[in-house]
Amino acid sequence: METAALDRASLGHAMHPAPGSEPVEWVIAEGLVEYPDAVAEMESRVAAISAGTARERVWLVEHPPLYTAGTSASAEDLLAPARFPVHTTGRGGQYTYHGPGQRVAYVMLDLGRRGRDVRRFVATLEDWVIKTLGHFNVTGERREDRVGVWVRRPDRGVDVEDKIAAIGIRVRRWVSFHGVSINLEPELSHFDGIVPCGIRGHGVTSLSDLGRIVAMPELDSVLRAEFEEHFGPTASA
């Protein structure tokens, strides 16, 4: 699901597991991961977490250039259907782009042991991303009428804002999957083939576009530290 038009800022921004829970597995994929392979892996892991036979997991990946269509995607928002592969997916939301230079974090957590509050979960994901961006002197903000994390662009005009991170999740039997994507240094022109998340009138940016030169391992390190603040301990798989 994606959420909008709710007071996410008023929700608490931590969802630690029950005492005695095992650390969340932290996995970083090597190379580019094909999207169907990622979905199959998530489906398998979510089923195992639900059955109690596997630990929770955060899986960091990069994809080759592609578009995904969430459950609320509108056909008119796919502007260049032949440009990249288009994958229909079960996560909430509309169209989004994934590609090299974008860090995708697939978050597979047992919300049954974390309060069973999906709105709080989404708010915590947002806060995780915002606090991560803050380490690189980027002020990310949430908007009640728009999903994702946004940055103000006064250099481009009054009230100009660009999206730097997207959030789209699905929950099955109280286990989450899909997750967040942060634009480190993707080719921003690739977003031109869609209306990202169905939101018109706003642009897309990245850490690189904002003048922040950050290596992917550095971003990953900060993501992990902030994840532990928000969701609890991790362990490398």
Residue-wise pLDDT tens digits, 41-66? 999 999 999 999 999 999 999 999 99
Kindly tell me if the per-residue pLDDT of 73 is higher than 90. Answer: no
Vertex 44 angle, CA 49 and 117, to 5°: 45
Tell me the domains of the chain and their CATH numbers: 24-236 (3.30.930.10)
The DSSP bridge partners found for residue 61 are 104
Q: Average pLDDT in the 1-25 region?
A: 68
Which residue ranges make up the annotated binding site for substrate?
91-98, 166-168, 179-181
Q: Look-up: residue for tokens 């969802």?
A: 15
Beta strands of 49-145 (E only): which ranges? 57-62, 66-69, 86-88, 95-98, 102-108, 141-143
| Cα–Cα distance list, 224 to 27, 54, 204, 233 (Å) | 10, 20, 24, 9
75: CB partners within 8 A, 6+ apart: none
**The one catalytic residue among 129, 169, 197, 223:** 197
pLDDT tens-digit readout, 92-104: 888 999 999 999 9
3-state secondary structure of 177: strand
pLDDT tens-digit readout, 180-199: 999 999 999 999 999 876 66
Q: Average pLDDT in the 101-110 region?
A: 98
Which residue ranges make up the annotated binding site?
91-98, 166-168, 179-181
197 part of the active site: yes
Q: How confident is the model at residue 202 (pLDDT cuts 50, 70, 90)?
A: confident
Q: Average pLDDT in the 13-38 region?
A: 94
Q: Look-up: residue for tokens 């829970």?
A: 21
pLDDT value for 12: 53
